[in-house]
Structure formats: structure tokens, C-alpha cells
Amino acid sequence: MAHRGEILLLHGAFVGGWVFERFRSFLSHRGWRTHAPDLPLHGPEQAGQRPDSELARLGLADYRAAMEAEIARLPSKPILIGHSLGGLLAQQLAARDLCRGAILLAPVAPWGIMPRSLEEVGGALHLLWQGGAIWQKPLPPDPAVAVQFSLDKLPPALQRDTLARLVPESGRAIFESLLWWLDWHAASRVSFHRVRCPLLVLAGSDDKVTPAASCRAVASHYPGRAVFREMPEMSHFLFGEPREEELFQLCADWLADLPPEH
């Protein structure tokens, strides 16, 4: 099978590149060379451990710089596939002309896009109610919150396995992305007009973290460049959910229609 090009997969908060294991296999069998690096301090050795104090120092700019370094090592300009927080990073990287296309899976909305649901507002308030300055400390994963809002569609065995692999997250990165209206530095801002490549934006109809309405709003900021699709009966985590294969196939079909790399 002919080599189709490079794909860099960007994971979301509290997880690592392992979330893409089945997706990578699916794409590799279709001729793509895939790469799924861990964000800084998100490696598997962090699972079940006390948060590394250095994690509190990291923000979106640090995550983005790490992914820029990964792109620089690739032999050609990649396709980006970003999930959740990774979908926000993918938009910022696309605005720097570092990819030839991007798939945004349940993407976190950039700075300035208002919440579209009570769940989004409630999630932001929950972070504020935790007490203290969350932007100055690492956050351990909360299994109860993960099960209620993200992993709710996973089969029980896979849900347990996923919970065991969760890692701590930077409170600063969470603050910059989910509480953007308090961030005077606008770390999650995206220069929408600088994104010239085609985009596919996918959202689950039952997503409580990044609802379909919010993902549709993200796509609307890229007129003529973004295609939005809502996945019925899917939640936020997506990977391992019953209709995962349909999601993968929709991505593959979109990728097949892209112009070949130069």
C-alpha cells in the first residue's frame, strides 16, 4: 500500500497518546504513518502517581511548543488529529501553518467562544469551587467526574482500564482552556483567519464536556474550510465507545478526499 503521509495525533487532558491505540492501527492499515506523542509529564509512568510538581508550571504554550518540536521531526507536513484539549492545540498549530489538514474530535473551544450548555457552565464552576488557585497546582484525575462526564459510554471493563491509566493534569492548562474568560493572557486564543487548511470537526450527540453545539460553533469560525458532523449516541471520550468504528471510518473517508501531499 502506498504511503499516504504523516498523521500526528494530539491527546486531551488527563490521558496520554495511548488513547489512540486502536485508531492508529485503523489508520496504519490505510497507508498512514501515525505518531501519538505524550504531552509533557503525561507518560504512562505518571498513572496512579502523585502529581509531579513541575506539572503545575506547564500551560498551553508549553504543550504547543512540545508538539511543534514533534512536527519539526517529521519528514513532511502532517495531518493533525486532536481530541478534546488536543483539538484546541491542533487549531493553534494549524494557525501557524504547521499542518495540511486537521481533524478535531470533540475539541475544546478556543478563547472567546461562549459555552452552549449548562453542563459546560457547570463544569467551569466546579473547577472554581475546588478552592485555591487551580492555575498554580497540578490536578489529580477524579474518577467519579471522568465516569459521569467523559467515560459514560464505555463498556465496564474498558472503563476500569481507562481509569487506571489516567494521569494528573496541569491546573494552569485547564484554567487557560476551560476558564478562558478569566485568563487575561488569552492563552487559548486562535487566529481563525490564519487557518487555511481543511478541517473536519466531529462531536458526539451526548457529549457533556464539549457539546455538539459548541463544536458546531468552533466549525463556524472556519467558513468554507470546516465540515461539521455530529456522531449520534456518542459521548466525549469517543475511543472505545460502541460506535467507535463509524467515527474512524468517517475520518478515513475525509482523509481519502484530501489532496495528496506535495
Domain boundary assignment for the chain: 5-256
| H-only helix segments in 151-194 | 156-165, 171-178
Q: What is the pLDDT of residue 109?
A: 95
Q: Under CATH, what is the fold of the domain 5-256?
A: Rossmann fold (3.40.50)
Percent of the chain with pLDDT over 90: 82
Nearest in space to 95 (alpha carbons), one of 190, 164, 10: 190
Q: What is the pLDDT of residue 85?
A: 97
- Judged by phi (left if over 0) then psi (alpha if -120 to 50, else beta), residue 58 lies in beta
Q: What is the pLDDT of residue 126?
A: 58
Q: Which residues contact 127 (CB under 8 A, 6 or more apart)?
A: 134, 174, 175, 178, 179
- Binned at pLDDT 50, 70 and 90, residue 119 comes out as low
Residue 102 vs residues 67, 115, 199, 207: alpha-carbon distances, Å = 14, 23, 5, 20
Phi, psi angles (nearest 5°) of residue 110? -70, 170
Question: 245 or 261: which carries more pLDDT confidence?
Answer: 245
* Confidence check: pLDDT of 200 > 80: yes
Query: For residue range 9-45, what is the model confidence (pLDDT) as tens digits?
Result: 999 999 999 999 999 999 999 999 999 999 999 999 9
